[in-house]
Amino acid sequence: MAGGAEIKAPSPNVNGKAEILKGNFEPTAMKVEPLPPVVPENGVEKPSEKSRNIVLGRNVHSTCLTITEPEVNDEVTGDKEAQMAGVLARYRKNLMERTKYHLGYPYNLDFDYGALAQLQHFSINNLGDPFIESNYGVHSRQFEVGVLDWFARLWEIEKDEYWGYITNCGTEGNLHGILVGLVEVFPDGVLYASRESHYSVFKAARMYRMECVKVDTLVSGEIDCSDLRPKLLANKDKPAILNVNIGTTVKGAVDDLDVVIQTLEECGFSHDRFYIHCDGALFGLMMPFVKRAPKVSFKKPIGSVSVSGHKFVGCPMPCGVQITRMEHINVLSSNVEYLASRDATIMGSRNGHAPLFLWYTLNRKGYKGFQKDVQKCLRNAHYLKDRLHEAGISAMLNELSSTVVFERPRDEEFVRRWQLACEGNIAHVVVMPNVTIEKLDFFLNELVEKRSTWYQGNVQPPCIAAEIGKANCVCALHK
């Protein structure tokens, strides 16, 4: 697996037949079909609302940017160019504004990739196996393998013992990791995952038609191994495929990998009868730099690890890294003559630009740079949690996390303004490297001001002790 672009630590000085359309095509003659109504789970159709046409968000179809045809001989006129430029300029302004109020989703917006602008003119496609060069020459495999080697060192597995690739997103990493566990290792295996696992884990179970057992969690969001134990014993005749969360989606809880392995062993599962996939979408890159954190390492009996590249790393497009053991990948692989390569990924074509962005950032920051970012995020997350408590707002922060959970704001416009991720009675802020103390103060001051209008007279803040624990709830019952 040699030949990857080497990533070095930054030096001190380097900061059916086709029918042909005849006649004139008139876009305005096309009939626009109405969207079907959205029916909630109880089967009762919800009345339509003028400002909101679907249940879980706004109907973008009502505000989309229509594509208009060029006016003369398929040529783009100066007026057309100017119109498009205006649209893009307004869009850029909107992006800048929305970025200022970005707190609820785990994306690191602190990056500058101006140096890579020179490469945007190329169609870079990493077809097939990252370690086998195909006939398509416009690729970035050397960068991809360099990135994979970096993560292999981080998760302690030798170059000749691992296989991996850069995925199109974190979900693909989970889909691939679980697929390896099912197809290659245990075709009759049962998938176990905590209830607070990412939705992609349960999507994988549906796609692969796997038997899936949901495991309860502690208040923190961490998997409850006292519930895992009887569920494992109930299926002791079948191998176990486990998803272990290195940071849950909502609460940022980290499952204790060592305790999960111990539970498997105590239930009579030898290492050749279980497969563990570690979903480290966000915290998979943070945990190595946190003291007292459960260590994710291939020196332990795990099968695969995945992490997102557009989260903590700060890649401007969705992507991720998936690494598994070389011994597990053979059944999934098939030779493709058309590519002159081997297919072992979920997607055929893969974004060849993403490895460039990842390689660039890893070179600039190195382990020490990421360590500083992690320390900053944890410190600022504790600041936010403390300020929320001082303001009389229920909040929780897991020890190993930068995800601050608090009571859900009553005003949905406030939620949209700050792009908060909500679930039931709780919301969260994910403190990333680009989130400063000043931004947190701005958010807190606005939240406190809004709360003073939400809760007046007999209207009291909700009790969220069931979600975050009594010790973190400061409602009237738990002050």
> Dihedral sign, CA of 355, 356, 359, 362?
negative
Q: Is 224 helix (H, G, I), strand (E, B) or coil?
A: coil
Q: Residues with Cβ < 8 Å from 353, sequence gap 6 or more?
A: 116, 119, 120, 124, 140, 317
With beta carbons less than 8 A apart as the criterion, state whether 305 and 351 touch: no
Give which of 269, 199, 282 is closest to 241, Cα–Cα: 269
Q: How many other CB atoms are found less than 10 A from the CB of residue 409?
A: 19
Q: What angle do CA 236, 237, 243 make, to 5 degrees?
A: 55
**DSSP E strands, 400-459:** 403-407, 421-423, 426-430
CA dist., res. 214 & res. 233, Å (int)? 14
CA dist., res. 454 & res. 448, Å (int)? 10
Instruction: Give the single-character DSSP code of 327.
Output: G
Q: Is 91 helix (H, G, I), strand (E, B) or coil?
A: helix
Task: Enumerate the active-site residues.
Answer: 401
Give which of 309, 317, 323 is closest to 353, Cα–Cα: 317
